[in-house]
Copies of this chain bind each other. A is one copy, B any other.
């Protein structure tokens, strides 16, 4: 029998999970739930769409609910609410609020006997794993995380809020020289400005003061002021043609020393190069849904994160097959 999956929220992430399930022969998509009018939502694979409010009634038909809403407004409410009825997986990524979200989901899961895995994706997610493994293996060392080259939705939105801006796309780009210094094992101290640059493609309204828009961008506190930022003004047509993708990626490094006097240096690098940020996140969510199902079968309940999940639980093959093929 296949693992029966529900999707809550049918945006980029939800569609990505639907696609990921097509390459997972041990799982099947049973239903999509939406807060919109279901009549207006058509799934690519024809799976039925229900109002979010009807989810609890389907608790016996779904093994794991994958939440595909946003971290700002949807998940803080939805994940604990759905954990009353389902094993749940989400990609909650507001780093500072993870402990609080964990508590809420854990309380709901302990009451219902269900299992939740939160903050699944690549950062938090695969990057967090690599920080944990790196620190554990090389305790005498330093961490480095670089993001990009990729589109930052939050920074693009911030530019769009500037008067006179019609549309914008922002790329975060790691600085090659900083990467080379980290890879060499020298364990440099790097400022914010030394690690990343920001490149902005902006569509200005006719007659808008471009100099003023550029100033507003490069001096914007938190978002741009601490970075070397380049601004390009382009047409809406060019933006739609050349910048419609949502690539992303980045690197987690652990650089450490071993030996009686720390004389041997080691560099661990984990690097992601992603054509589609949401589709990769969806793929990670789908793999962890398998783990949630298996752990729940074993009688485990409560809230977990990727740090608590053994890698073999994510993989469709048996432990015996994995030992034979992957070790």
Return the CB mask of A107-150 against B: 1 if under 8 Å, else 0.
00000000000010000101011011101111110000000000
A94 to B283, CA, bound (A): 33
Return the CB mask of A289-302 against B: 1 if under 8 Å, else 0.
01000000000000
270-327 of chain A: CB within 8 A of chain B: 270-276, 279-280, 282-284, 287, 290, 305-312, 314-316, 319-320, 322-324, 326-327
Residue among B133, B259, B267, B274 making CB contact with A266, cutoff 8 Å: B274
| A307:B279 contact, CB within 8 angstroms | no
| A266:B273 contact, CB within 8 angstroms | yes
Q: Which residues of B contact A119 (CB under 8 A)?
A: 327
Task: Tell me how far the C-beta of A14 lies from the nearest C-beta in chain B, rounded to whole angstroms.
Answer: 13
A102 to B274, CA, bound (A): 37
Question: Is A216 positioned at the interface, with any CB of B under 8 Å from its CB?
Answer: no
Residue among B24, B271, B310, B315 making CB contact with A271, cutoff 8 Å: B271
| A128:B258 contact, CB within 8 angstroms | no
List the interface of chain A (C-beta within 8 A of B). Answer: 16, 19-20, 23-24, 44, 95, 98-99, 102, 119, 124, 126, 128-129, 131-133, 135-140, 183, 185, 256, 258-260, 263-276, 279-280, 282-284, 287, 290, 305-312, 314-316, 319-320, 322-324, 326-327
Q: Can you list 6 A-B contacts with CB-CB less than 8 angstroms, sorted by A residue number?
A: A124-B327, A128-B326, A258-B282, A265-B275, A266-B283, A307-B319
